[in-house]
Every structure is written in structure tokens, then in C-alpha cells.
Chain A
Amino acid sequence: MFESILSYGLAVGAVYALIGITYNVMYSASRVFSFTAGMLGMLGGVLGAWFIAKLGLPVIVGLVLVLACGAVIGIVTEIVTVRPVLKSIEQHLYVLSTLAFALMVQQFTAIEWGTEAQPFPRLIPIGPGWLDQQFWLPMLACAATIFGLEFLYRRTLIGRAFLAIAEDSYAARALGLPEQRLRLASFALAGMIGTLAGFTGAEMLLAFFGNQSILNFYGFVPVALGGMGSNRGAVVGGLALGLFQQAANFLVGGIFAAVAVFVVFIVVLLLRPEGLGGAAAARRV
């Protein structure tokens, strides 16, 4: 039992962490919290199952296509739901526009793909237990994403430009950085990370349109608690959340786990609205 708590917990946790990073990448570039993070996760699973199981494409081709779709959807998200409302960010219209877009995609998926959860093909036929891909694949994806992002942000010029935008987009623009293009690129990147999360986690979570709201919520919990924009918070929080959920699932039942996560989420945020790792924003009168 201990082993399955650990393996399931870390695997689900890795998916949550990746969705959390998806939130962060979009947030850093635009200060927008986007409801599309969970949608990308859901699409990763559904599109993967469609390309590989239904259309019979090779695994690698399927994965590349899924990531490409993710990037395109990320770009569409930026153009349709973020750019038009960014001028008046204090009105929080982005909450509504990204919610609307995410719902449209979700409903479209429900109608075209079906509302039943469908199995995701087994890509690498090894193992029972730990060696089973459904456990190690999400963790591998999570580790790869973190190292990739770290390399991008620390070692490449474009990555530093991302950081500059995240730190102070106004000053970055004054320095001549193409803020709009960088934002677009960030959303494409977020699209790829989100769909990767869904793709690698889909054998466990299945290809199911309802995963959207679950991933939206459980992907947001770690970033909200860890402090918005902090990838370290997202990973630590995501893995902890996954482990806690699975432990509670096995020991006391899933409902208790859901209620407990919700209560912890609310209580922590009420005590520290900026998250455990974040700094309080100064008030501007």
C-alpha cells in the first residue's frame, strides 16, 4: 500500500506541478491568471488518445502533434482572450475571457470526443509497479520541464528576456524588448507544458473532458499556496498535494481528501493571501 501511495501520489503530484508551472509561465508574461491551464492538461490527454489510439500515428509523431496543438492553442489564448483585455487589467476581465474560452474548448471536446472517460494507450510496455510508465512518465516530464525552463531562463538570451518581462514589463519595454512577441511565446510555451502534463498523465487520469476542472483546481492549489510565479513552490506543493491526496484516498476515502485539501487551501490563503512563499504587495492609493 505504501508503495502505491508513493508512486501514484508522486505521479499525480507531478501532473499538478506541471499545470502549476503552466499557470506560472502565463502569469509571469502577462500578470494574467488563466483558466486555460486545466484545459491544456485535459487536451493533452484527449488529443494524445485521439492521435495515437484512434488515428494510429506513431507515439513520437503523436507527442509532437500534441505539443504543437498546445502551442497553437496557447497562442490563440493570448490573442483572443488576453491581449484585448490587458489594457484594463485591474478590471479582471481576463478571468471571464479565459473562463469563457476554456469552457468553449471543454464543451467542444465533450461533444466531439464524448463525455465518457476513454483509455489512453500504453506507450512503453514495461513493468508492473514502479516501472509502469504511468508512474514515471509524469515525473520524467516534470523533471525535464524544470531543467529545460531553468536552462532557458538562466542560459539563453530569450530566457533572460522572459525574466525581464516577468520582473517589470514596463521597464523591459522601455529597454526595447518586444514584450508582445515574448508574451505570445510564453503562452505557446505554457501551451506545450500544459499539454505535456496531460499527455504524460493521461494513462492514469484517462482521456476525459472532466479533467479540466479537476486540473484547474488542483494545479492552482500548489501555486496559490507556494506564491504565484514560483516554480519551486509549484513543484514542492504539487508533489505534496499528490501524496497527501493519495494517502487520504487509501486511508480515509477520497471525499475526506477533497474536503481536507479544500479546507487547507482556504485557511492558508485567508491567513496569507499572497501564499506561503510570496511577498505581500504594497497597497497603492
Chain B
Amino acid sequence: MDASAQPISVRAARPSRLARLEAALPWLALAVAGIGLPLLDDSYAGVIAQRACIYWILCAGLNLVVGFAGQIAIGWVALLTLGAYTTAVLTAGTVTAEWHPYLALAASAVFGAIFGVVVGLPALRLRTFYFAMTTLGFATIVTQVALAWKSVTGGGIGTPGPVFPWPFDPGWGFYYFCLLLAAIATWMTANIAHSRFGRALVAVRDAEVAAEASGIAKPRLLVTVFLFSGALAGVAGGLFSSLQSYITPDAFTFDLSVLFFIAILIGGRGSILGPLLGTIILTVLPEFAAPLVAWSTFLYATLLLLIVLVIPGGIADLLDYKNRRPLEQHREITPRPELLGQVFRHGRDSREFTLSNIALHFGGVRAIDGLDLAVRSGEVHGLIGPNGSGKTTTLNVISGYYAPHAGEARLNREPLPFLMPHRRAAYGIARTFQTPRLIGGASVLENVMIGGTIDGQATFTESMLTLPRHRRDEAQLREAATLALTTVGLESLAGVRADRLQHSELRFMEIARALMLRPAFLLLDEPAAGLSAEEIRRLGALIKAISRQGAGVLLVEHHADLIFDICDRVTVLNLGKVLAAGTPTEIRSHREVVSAYLGA
């Protein structure tokens, strides 16, 4: 078929004007309320609002760490403390010459960024609870140091906070300063959230393995986010010291850390508006009921427990009424293999992927025992065998999750390193998983866009400021993802939360995500499991068409019919060894294979 002669136009659906207005409405309301607050002429309300803004500046950054990346950072108050003392001490001139307050605030941002990485670094290696403990420990230490380092911090007596000169002098001037910075922080984090970096963060949280297979390097991504989040916390600290006018270590209790953390979780993970509302509510709530002030942390904790047990999605989930609308009941997946020509718009040259003499054992179990395998461009290679014969392990070796104890992998005779799964995407090796790895809370389109993460050109800073390169990236990714979805037949579900999909739809979604790499080699791990006969037939046609675009497909399957229908060559594994290899016809009549696996 000649798809290039008659290109079918696939456009990324733009949200309608009404939908965009609907999404902007809460922000407009917040902006009007924020700007118009001084009209109330209530200076106490002003102080509360300043506090809410300052807390939000910190929470905006922390939201990327907690809400998006899913890291349980409960000791973030340490960075507020650090920022507050930096600004206060530098302006007071106890250590150096007196700094200009605005300059000192900038220094707080730098310090915050540095220590954000220091606090965050353990997250790269440690499991959740361990990381939570390290942040908790850090928070305790910072307070202790602030108490003990009397010559700089004034110890328990404290140190005066800075006064920002005109135009942001105390009162409403300072309020507008806080509001402005809060607005900038919101804008920047929202930009990040809607960029490939934000999606990658959520992918690391919910589907780390799939994120790696898509070429996302978790360490680098997290360090960048910790830098950014730390800088915002530092700025928040600097403003906080001015708001307090006098700071002592007592001002930075662990309760404050709890407030930040809970505000984000109440708001909902992976949302910006939710945590913003959460921060405002938690800051303002105690003011309405004075007797509650003593109980405020108790109430926050109760709220956290309720949220975790009852609505793990937080406010954002409650507001997300769109995803509660029922989906069409009897949906059919109709792939359009004819669009693959557009997906693989630049043809790849012929390549060969070889495994030679691979051996891998887990303890005493020999999962793979001297395996040779070659996959060539443009052909479908079936990998079959009984359960436990080493099929998925072979895929995991190719993807770089396991390092074999012997043997090597080569791509066009060039050796491939092991144990670096996130580097595989750059070689054009894409894969799907035995159980679909998805980001349940993100839309189907966003899930597919994850697959194209390495195609993005814009840096983190460019995305943060929505510079042209970022906008070009986004438009391209969106278009490519829409095309991939249309190709597998899921375009009508692009905007739906991925966890609402049926199992068979998730299988096709994973293929769409893999197609985003325009893969040279596509590894499919039991893609037909759980599909109906008709769906398997369509899947087979799609896989075959993908290989005809020049991709080498390695297909692990149990459905013998599918294997013999579409494979050009088949390798049969048993107990980690090759039992037989050849064309489908040869395999079908191979005596040992028939007796060991296929049955008569």
C-alpha cells in the first residue's frame, strides 16, 4: 500500500475555546481575588494572604517533587529555614558586608537550589520510606544547627528579618511582591508540568520501568527538579523571614513541613490547581476558628488519613468531573496499519540485532543458558516456549534491565552496554510489557507522548519559560502521539484517563507508545494475552505491517496461531536454551517442539 501518495491527515485535536475558558476560570477567579484583596483594606487579611503566597511558592516547587515525582519528601521545612536564614543573615551583615535585600533573596534561591539537591539526592537510590526518613532527619539537623551556630543565626534568640525597600516595602507593597512571585512560581511549575519533563516525572512515579524503556533517565530528571524546587523553597524562606520580621528556630517547626506536605496531597497528586487550593485552605482555615489553632496540625493529620483512605486522588480528583462521564460501552479497536508510513516517515537502514551465547542465572536457576538469537530489520521473529523457558528474561536482557553473566549483545556488530535501560531508546529499541505499564492518572495521549520523550529538544529552562523550542516540541509530540494512537485505533480515547481503559486497549496503547520511537527494533511481550480472537487478528496485521516498515519485531507469545501466521522466523526456547529455530513451517513440524510445547 502506498500511504505517502495519499496521506491521511491526522491532526492533534485542539481543545475547544469553551474548554479552554473553562480551564482558565478558576485561575482568573484566583487572580482577581489576589489582585483585589487590598480593596478590603484589612491589614490582617493581608498578612494571611502574604503567608498563603509564601507557602505556595514553596509548595509549588515541592508539588513537582511530591505530587508529580511521587517522592515522599516530608522535611521540606529545612529548605525554608535555610532560605530564611540566608536572606536574614546576609541583609543583617553579621557575616559579610550588608547585602541588598533583593540580592540576598536571590542568594537564598541559589542556596535553596544547592541544598534541594543535597536533600533530594538519596531519593535516587532509596526506597520511599527511607527517603522520607532522610528528609525528616535533615529537617531536625537544620533546626539544631540553627540553634547551635549562635555567631551566625543568633541561636535561640534569633535574628531580625530583612525589610524590602521600595517598591515592595512592608504592607501592600510586600503583599504584591509575594503575589507576583507566587504567580511566577505557578506559571513556571505549570509549564514544567505540561512539558515532557512533567510527564516524565509522573512516569517515573507510576511506571518507572516503562519510563526507562522510553529513555527517561531518572537521576538527571530528579536532580533538575530538586534544584528548581529547592530554589523556590529558598525564595519562600527569604520572604518568610521578612514576613516574620524576626526569626528564631522555633518559627520552623515540623508542623510547617506537615502543612506543606498535606496541602499537596489534599490537592491531589499530579495537579497544580488542587495543591494551590489545598495550600490556601490550610493557611486560612485556622483563622476562621481561633480555638482550632492549637488543634490545626491534628486536623491536618486527620485530613491526611481520610484523604489516603477515602479519596487518594485529592481535590483535583473531585474537580475532574470530565473523567466521570461514562465511556461508550462497546468499543472496538480498529488499527490503521496504512498510517504506519507516516509514523516511520524516515526509513531506517537495514540493521541486525544479535545475542550471542548469553547466560544468566538467578541463584541456582539458569534462566538463560547459552542463547544465540538474531533479529533483522523488516522481519517478525517469534520467541516461543513453555513458561519459565526464559522468554521474558531474554527481552529484559535486550532492554538492559539484566546484565548477563556471559555473552554479549550487538547492534550492527557494535556491542551494547547492559544495565542501562534508559539508553536503549536512543538505539531505537522499544518494548511493551507482559502486564501493561501505564500512568493511570494521565490521559491516553499523555501516556503515548511519554514514548517520544527523547525526541524533545528543549531544555528544562526552555520548558519552564515556554520558549519557542518547547512549544515546537509539544506540538510535534502531540501530533506524533495522535498519529500513533490513530494508527493503533485508539484516537477516540485520547483524552480519557488511561486507567479507565479495557485491558485490550491498554495493550494497543503500549504499542502506540513504543511506536513513538519509530523503533528499529520492537520487543513485544505477550501482546495478544487477554485479547479476543478478532482483536488478535487485527493485532497480527498491525505487527506484520510494522515490520514491513523496516522495524525488526521480536514477538514473545503463547498464541501459536498468531506466531505461525505472522512470523518470518521462530525461535523456540526450553529451559533457557534454544530448542529449535527456523521458519514457521520448519518449527511446526519439528518433532521435539511438537512434543515439548505445541502438542500434537
Residues of A within 8 A of B (CB): 33, 80-81, 84-85, 92-93, 95-97, 99-101, 103-104, 107-108, 111, 213-214, 216-217, 220, 224, 253-255, 258-259, 262, 265-266, 269-270, 273, 282-283, 285
Q: A92-B128, A100-B308, A104-B305 are in contact. Are A259 and B134 (CB under 8 A)?
A: no
Q: Which of B126, B295, B302 contacts A100 (CB 8 A)?
A: B302
Pair A85/B72 contact, Cβ less than 8 Å: no
Determine if B258 is an interface residue (Cβ-Cβ < 8 Å).
Answer: yes
Given contacts A81-B305, A262-B141, contact A33 B129 (CB under 8 A): yes
Interface residues, chain B, with chain A CB atoms under 8 Å away: 72, 74, 121-122, 125-130, 132-134, 136-138, 140-141, 144-145, 148, 209, 254, 258, 265, 294-295, 297-298, 300-302, 304-305, 308-309, 312, 362, 392, 396, 399, 401-402, 433
Smallest CB-CB separation from B122: which chain A residue? Answer: A266
Q: Could you tell me if A97 and B301 are in contact, using CB atoms closer than 8 angstroms?
A: no
What are 27 A-B contacts defined by CB distance under 8 Å? Answer: A84-B309, A92-B72, A95-B132, A99-B304, A100-B302, A100-B308, A101-B305, A103-B301, A103-B304, A107-B298, A107-B301, A216-B133, A217-B133, A217-B136, A217-B137, A253-B148, A254-B148, A255-B145, A262-B138, A262-B141, A265-B134, A270-B122, A270-B126, A273-B127, A282-B362, A283-B401, A285-B392
Cα A266 to Cα B141 with chains together (Å): 13
Structural contact, B312 and A93, CB atoms closer than 8 A: yes
Kindly list chain B residues whose C-beta atoms are within 8 Å of the C-beta of A107: 295, 297-298, 301
Cα A285 to Cα B207 with chains together (Å):
11
Contact present for B301 and A104 (CB under 8 Å)? yes
Of the candidates B127, B297, B309, the one whose C-beta lies within 8 Å of that of A103 is B297
The 8 Å CB contact of A269, one of B122, B209, B312, B402, is B122
Where chain A touches its partner, the secondary structure class is helix
CA distance A176 to B77 in the complex (A): 47
Q: Which B residues are in CB contact (< 8 Å) with A217?
A: 133, 136-137, 140
> A80 to B304, alpha carbons, bound, how many Å?
13
What CA separation (Å) do A84 and B312 show in the bound complex? Answer: 12
A255 to B142, CA, bound (A): 10
Closest Cβ–Cβ distance, residue B365 to chain A (whole Å): 11
Query: Which one of A101, A265, A270 contacts B137 once the chains associate, using CB atoms below 8 Å?
Result: A265
Residues of B close to A266: CB separation below 8 A: 122, 134
Nearest B-chain residue to A224, judged by Cβ: B130
- Measured between C-beta atoms, what is the minimum distance from A94 to chain B in Å? 8
Q: How many A-B residue pairs have CB under 8 A?
A: 104
Instruction: For residue B188, give the distance in angstroms from its CB to the closest CB of chain A.
Output: 27
Contacts of A80 in B (CB 8 A): 305
A residues less than 8 Å from B141 (CB atoms): 258-259, 262
Using Cβ atoms and an 8 Å threshold, which residues of chain B touch A253? 148
Of B129, B298, B312, chain A has the most CB atoms within 10 Å of the CB of B129
Chain A residues near B138 (CB-CB < 8 A): 262
A283–B418 CA distance with the chains assembled, in angstroms? 14
Please give the distance in Å from A35's CB to the nearest CB on chain B.
8
Contact A97 B298 (CB under 8 A): no
Within the complex, the shortest CB–CB distance from B115 to chain A, in Å, comes to 13
CA separation between A93 and B312, bound complex, in Å?
A: 9
Tell me whether A111 and B129 are in contact in the complex, defined as CB-CB below 8 angstroms, given that A93-B308, A103-B301, A282-B362 are known contacts.
no
Asked if residues A104 and B302 are in contact (CB atoms below 8 Å), the reply is yes
Assembled-state Cα–Cα distance A258/B140 (Å):
9
Q: How far is the CA of A82 from the CA of B79 in the complex (A)?
A: 31
Apart from the given pairs A93-B308, A104-B305, A270-B121, 17 other A-B contacts in the complex at a CB distance below 8 Å? A92-B128, A95-B129, A96-B304, A97-B305, A99-B132, A101-B305, A103-B297, A103-B298, A103-B300, A103-B301, A213-B136, A217-B136, A224-B130, A253-B148, A269-B122, A270-B122, A283-B402
- Considering the complex, give the chain B residue whose CB is closest to the CB of A80: B305
**Chain A residues, Cβ within 8 Å of B129:** 33, 92, 95
Residues on the A chain within 8 Å of B308, using CB: 85, 93, 96-97, 100
Asked whether B133 lies within 8 Å of A224 as measured between CB atoms, the reply is: yes
In the complex, what residues of B have CB within 8 A of residue A100's CB?
A: 301-302, 304-305, 308
